[in-house]
Amino acid sequence: MSNVLPAGTSAPDFTLAATPDQKFSLRDLRGQPVILAFYPADWSPVCGDQMALYNEILPEFQRFGAKLMGLSVDGVWCHRAFADARHLHFPLLSDFEPKGAVSRSYGAYRATDGTSERALFVIDKTGTIAWSYCSAIDVNPGADGILDALDALPK
Amino acid sequence: MAELRVAVTSKDHMQGPEDAPVTLVEYGDYQCPYCGQAYPIVKRIQKHFGKTLRFVFRNFPLREAHAHAESAAETAEFAGAHGKFWEMHDLLFENQEQLGGPLYLELAKKLGLDPAALKQSLADGQYRNRVDSDFAGGTRSGVNGTPTFFINGERHDGPFDYETLSHAIQGVTAQ
């Protein structure tokens, strides 16, 4: 497992595409908490799927005014098909070219598999990492850690 | 290890003695096929452990994935408010393939509940808050899919086949 950037580190900025015609820059989200959920790949099995779970929990995240973004090395068309199939209501960012560059900058890249780790970051409104966690690749880390981290942010 | 953050209270739906040495809590979704698989397993577990086990069911409807999960949960809560929670809970799982308005009304009738009142309750979202509060509690306790079980407050992370689950419960009883 790689060493993900720890709490207190300034979150590396990035601009990534979520769809063929939509890009997100981290710096544009200053002023609100951001949840970055790095995950290995689209299309893992349904009921226990981490992204599907976060999709269900979105209202809980929104209570904190937090913006959730998923992130993997899959391409935008793959993300679009996956998001459509699962009715996901949050953006999936494509760390596709150069492959895994953003994942690497967060210490969340698995070079052996060529995918992102299953890693979570809660970034505060000033752009500093408030909490990070790297899960075993085959374990859905759930949302309790994220919710606790959002709870602990200064109001 | 994830722990149950919301303690079991008299407001929960429970079966078995209040002072049972083991409490098994399930967070479930009536439309989830895995919860459907777990349903007869839990029955077997309850039979096996008898008075030493208390079983609690809490709602964790995956609303985006399962179109009928929320309405089924609210239907069970409606029945619960009229003293028929477990009867409805069982019937919903036993008819998991047919979830939807017509089934709910039919089941209400079967249990001697007023179908018109159920219809109104679903339209008004009368039990929405109750279901929401179960769900929110689950997210804080590390429920990361359905079904998720807690044995005496500790999340059971292994598979939920009869052998594994009964072994885990046995382990707690032996402590």
CATH number at residue A146: 3.40.30.10
Work out how many domains chain B is built from and give that number: 1
Give the model confidence (pLDDT) of B51-64 as tens digits. Answer: 999 999 999 999 99
Partner-chain contact A144 B33, CB within 8 Å: no
A11, A123 Cβ separation under 8 angstroms: yes
Q: What is the pLDDT of residue A2?
A: 58
Q: What is the pLDDT of residue A48?
A: 58
- Chain A residues with beta carbon closer than 8 angstroms to that of B139: 57, 60, 142-144, 147
Whether residue B7 lies inside any domain: the answer is no
Q: Which residue of B has its CA nearest to A59?
A: B136
Q: Is A56 on the interface with B (CB under 8 A)?
A: yes
Whether residue A40 lies inside any domain: the answer is yes
Domain range for A45 is 34-152
Whether residue B59 lies inside any domain: the answer is yes
Active site residue A47: yes
Q: What is the pLDDT of residue B173?
A: 82
Whether residue B80 lies inside any domain: the answer is yes
Q: Please give the structure tokens belonging to residue B12.
A: 């929960």
Whether residue B38 lies inside any domain: the answer is yes
Give the model confidence (pLDDT) of A44-60 as tens digits. Answer: 754 458 999 999 999 99
Low-confidence ranges of chain A (pLDDT < 50): 46-47
- Chain B residues with beta carbon closer than 8 angstroms to that of A48: 144-145
Size of the A and B interface in Cβ pairs below 8 Å: 52
Whether residue B23 lies inside any domain: the answer is yes
Work out how many domains chain A is built from and give that number: 1
CATH number at residue B107: 3.40.30.10
- Name the percent of chain B lying above pLDDT 70: 99
What global pTM score does this model have? 0.91
Q: Is A143 on the interface with B (CB under 8 A)?
A: yes
- Chain A residues with beta carbon closer than 8 angstroms to that of B140: 144, 147-148
Give the model confidence (pLDDT) of B47-99 as tens digits. Answer: 999 999 999 999 999 999 899 999 999 999 999 999 999 999 999 999 999 99
Q: Is B62 on the interface with A (CB under 8 A)?
A: yes
Tell me the HSE value of B105 on the side-chain side, using a 13 A CA sphere. Answer: 9
Q: Is A44 on the interface with B (CB under 8 A)?
A: no
Q: Please give the structure tokens belonging to residue A112.
A: 């052996």
Closest CA to A115 of A131, A93, A134, A137: A137
Q: Is B139 on the interface with A (CB under 8 A)?
A: yes
Q: What are phi and psi of B103, to 5 degrees?
A: -65, -45
Q: Please give the structure tokens belonging to residue A127.
A: 């752009």
**SS3 state at B24:** strand
- pLDDT band for B2, please (50, 70, 90 cuts): confident
Partner-chain contact A142 B63, CB within 8 Å: no
Q: Give residue for tokens 């399930």.
A: B26
Q: What is the pLDDT of residue A46?
A: 47
Q: What is the pLDDT of residue A137?
A: 86
Testing the interface with A: which of B5, B27, B64 to mutate, by most A Cβ within 10 A? B64
Partner-chain contact A89 B142, CB within 8 Å: no
B residues 18-57 lying closer than 8 A (beta carbon) to A: 32-34
Domain range for B78 is 13-174
Whether residue A23 lies inside any domain: the answer is no
